[in-house]
Structure 1
Amino acid sequence: MKDIIFVNSHPIQYFAPMYKFMNENGVKTKAWYCSDFSIMGGFDIEFGQKIKWDIPLLEGYEYQFFKNFSSSRKSEFWRFVNWGMIRTLFKCPKSIIILHGYHYFTHFSIIMLGKILGHTICLRNDIPLSHELLKKGWKQKLKRFGLRYVVFPRINYFLFIGTQNKLYYESFQIDKNQLVSCPYAVDNERFRSLQYDKNEIKKSLGVPLNDRIITFSAKYIEKKRPLDLIQAFHKLNLDDCWLIMVGDGKLRKIMEEYISSNKMSKVILTGFVNQQEIPKFYAVSDLFVMCSSNGEHWGLSANEAMNFNLPLILSDLTGCSNDLVVSESNGYVFETGNVDELTSRIKDVLVLNKLTATVTSKELVDNFSYKIVLDNLVKLC
């Protein structure tokens, strides 16, 4: 059986536990990293502060960091130039190599060389077709030509994360035998094992015990559209409901100004919350909302919330909306940017109790697990 090697820009909090899981279940899984940014900690421009994740990112699997020779901070393509990783490609045994994208020099080079060297090259790009269709112009046409005739012929398998991502690959006429389901997932078992005293958490937040909570968990940045939810909450005007915005970012000042000018006393902006603390907000919540726009290729916070069986309201440009919401059962999908529709959907859930729960969020997210990823990748070995 071939080893599986994931190539990533840096250790990622959602992926590292999956590598550990795969090793614990008999599949030798390694990771090659272009940078140690997330281990050392550093300034995150979108959060607007220095961060360092508080969960283990290097436990339970083999990993290797490679020196980055790039001096560019402006060009996305030249951001990572890892000659050592490319040299290792020539020396290591034939492996299943999974790349998260092709947009860095290092990733692009491995795609160009890997298949020739006898490796099985897999692409786990997460672009949804719905986002791709928004891109116009000659640059987009040139990019698609290059992908179809230069990059994609050098890839053995395309690992789609969900419905929209599969449609993206199919738009390039990829052979169906090359398409393999490899869903985006979080550590479902870890989230479900957590136990909280909901009353104590509410007390610590200053929320009355019988009041309901809507939770948002994301950076306060343009593509996440946090102000849409604040505006919808203001329109909703429920006396016994709170809105908790878990996160931080450059839109915070604008959000605070709106909250202040409209005298909204039941909105909490938490600031940056690390991985160990985020689940407690899901545990006390009654509804999870994500209102992202173009650029939200999936939205793994939704997976997290589903492990607490929360109903979801997702915008139609949130990449996971086709997969994680069964309309009128565990939630609703609304038109991105349509605050009136978002307000109406929140009312449908919290006031009119329209959800049937024929299929629950917890049941749905079982289809997006590390085990399913493992089962499908083993077939390639």
Structure 2
Amino acid sequence: MKIAFITNLRAPYRTLQLNEFSKIKNITLNVYYTDKQSENRVWDVNKAVGFKEIDLDGINLFKKLGYLNKGLVKIVTTHDLLILGGYEKPTYIVLSILCRILKKPYILLFDGISTHKLEENKNNLKTIIKKLVIKKADFILGNGNVSKRYFSEIFSYPNEKILNQYLTVDTKKIESMYKDKEKYKIEYREKLGIKKDEKVLIYSGRLINIKNVESVIEAVSKLKKRDLVFLITGGGILEEHLKQRAKELKIKLIITGFLPDQDELFKHYFVGDALILPSFDEAWGLVVNEALVAGLPVLVSRHCGCANDLVIPKQNGYIFNPFDVNEISKCIENVISKDDNAAYSKKSKEIALNWTFENSRKNLEHILSNYEKMAAEI
């Protein structure tokens, strides 16, 4: 079976997932990228193993609409099955229409959605256009419970055709580092100027408004004990503003800037006592997957797609309202005040066990077996 996977950009986690997909027997996998890589967010990406990568030419139909790419008819006619990495951009919409015209099956691969969008207006134009793509998909590889609810509740898509994608990160790499976590903790605390008795709260990601990082600074300022360092592994347009806000509130803030080397990023997790993801809107939150494997308690906004799958309140962390600074502060206090988070750490690592690229591959294999059965019956 010749499979075309169409997605937007190269990313470390996606390449590892595709490397795993390419292990499936009797398939040829070609991966097409629709977008140009952002200059301020260029990751060091693993080498593609077992699949071919093709960058598509195209035009960006305004920023919000995304790319319409060239060569789409050829992609459909030269493959037996398409996997679409979305349903809302022009290229995905056109490919779904071409698949229907040329009688080619397609699967939707979906990374997640912010939980507040489960209340989305079902009758607006955007939803109607999405429905045209979604209803004709043979299967959906969604991510977590939020995907299953989203497609079944908003689009009335059959539950039995929605499988968990198990999108994750390089868990094997983080796990291999875990045995040396104390070494990394000492090394990076010294490098960052963090004292031995200081607690460390980590945020990993971009510094833009939707990520709601300023609320964390304000929440930390409300803590009774102020022996806490807020460590940000990332960068963005709000960096200087956040530094100024932290200075005003007398919060010890350290910002590393964007870390393109995944190994370097992972080592920083061992400095921390907990990770926080405070976003107003977050399709999933792969940094939470990373933190779980590193054995960290996690504090996650209820608007993050991963919240209901990766956080068990009072067992490995807390879920909070991102608009309530007092609630955020209380959740930080509950985790940071503990002298020993061993039980939380153990639970985090336990949850992470299911979120592997192997499980992602197995669910795709399950879908492909249905096509084999259909072919055998013809």
Quickly name the TM-score band, shorter chain normalised: 0.7 to 0.9
**For structure 2, which runs of at least 5 residues remain unmatched after alignment?**
369-378
Aligned to 2:375: none
Local SS of the residue matching 1:200: helix
Give the C-alpha shift of residue 54 in structure 1. Answer: 1.9
CA distance in 1, matches of 2:318, 2:124: 34
Aligned to 1:46: none
- Letter of the aligned partner of 1:283 in structure 2? F
Aligned to 2:277: 290
User: Which of 45, 48, 71 is residue 55 of structure 1 equivalent to?
Assistant: 45
**Matching of residue 21 in structure 1 with residue 6 in structure 2:** no
More helix by share: 2
Aligned to 1:166: 148
Q: How does 1:27-46 map to 2 (within 5 A)?
A: 28=27, 30-35=29-34, 37-38=36-37, 42-43=38-39
CA distance in 2, matches of 1:239, 1:144: 46
**Structure 1 contact 8–31 (Cα < 8 Å) conserved:** no
Aligned to 1:235: 222
Q: How does 1:124-273 map to 2 (within 5 A)?
A: 124-128=109-113, 130-133=115-118, 135-136=120-121, 141-148=124-131, 150-171=132-153, 172-194=155-177, 195-196=180-181, 197=183, 198-264=185-251, 266-273=252-259
Give the C-alpha shift of residue 29 in structure 1. Answer: 5.9
Compared CA separation, residues 357 and 283, structure 1 to 2 (3 A): closer
Local SS of the residue matching 1:267: strand
**Matching of residue 277 in structure 1 with residue 264 in structure 2:** yes
**Structure 1 contact 182–376 (Cα < 8 Å) conserved:** yes
Local SS of the residue matching 1:360: helix
Give the C-alpha shift of residue 263 in structure 1. Answer: 2.8
**Structure 1 contact 34–80 (Cα < 8 Å) conserved:** no
CA distance in 2, matches of 1:349, 1:251: 27
- Letter of the aligned partner of 2:143 in structure 1? I
Give the C-alpha shift of residue 67 in structure 1. Answer: 3.5
**Percent of aligned pairs sharing the same letter:** 25
Q: How does 1:278-357 map to 2 (within 5 A)?
A: 278-294=265-281, 296-352=282-338, 356-357=343-344
CA distance in 1, matches of 2:272, 2:287: 13
Deviation per residue, 1:70-116 (Å, 9 max, x gap): 1x462533x32222243121123x13x22111222221111112255
**Structure 2 contact 88–130 (Cα < 8 Å) conserved:** no
Give the C-alpha shift of residue 291 in structure 1. Answer: 0.5
**Matching of residue 6 in structure 1 with residue 5 in structure 2:** yes
Local SS of the residue matching 1:288: strand
**Matching of residue 376 in structure 1 with residue 363 in structure 2:** yes
CA distance in 1, matches of 2:72, 2:50: 18
Aligned to 2:62: 74
Aligned to 2:373: none
CA distance in 2, matches of 1:17, 1:260: 40
**Structure 1 contact 76–103 (Cα < 8 Å) conserved:** no
Give the C-alpha shift of residue 227 in structure 1. Answer: 0.5
Give the C-alpha shift of residue 152 in structure 1. Answer: 2.3
**Structure 1 contact 80–104 (Cα < 8 Å) conserved:** yes
Q: Which stretch shifts more, 99-108 or 330-339? A: 99-108
Deviation per residue, 1:122-161 (Å, 9 max, x gap): 112345373324545x9x622223333x222321111220
With normalisation by structure 2, the TM-score equals: 0.88
Deviation per residue, 1:277-296 (Å, 9 max, x gap): 111111121101110112x1
**Structure 1 contact 129–165 (Cα < 8 Å) conserved:** no
- Letter of the aligned partner of 2:58 in structure 1? F
CA distance in 1, matches of 2:164, 2:249: 46
**Structure 1 contact 22–29 (Cα < 8 Å) conserved:** no
With normalisation by structure 1, the TM-score equals: 0.87
* TM superposition outliers: structure 1 runs of 4+ over 6 Å: none
Local SS of the residue matching 1:154: coil
**For structure 1, which runs of at least 5 residues remain unmatched after alignment?**
44-49
- Letter of the aligned partner of 1:125 in structure 2? F
CA distance in 2, matches of 1:130, 1:99: 22
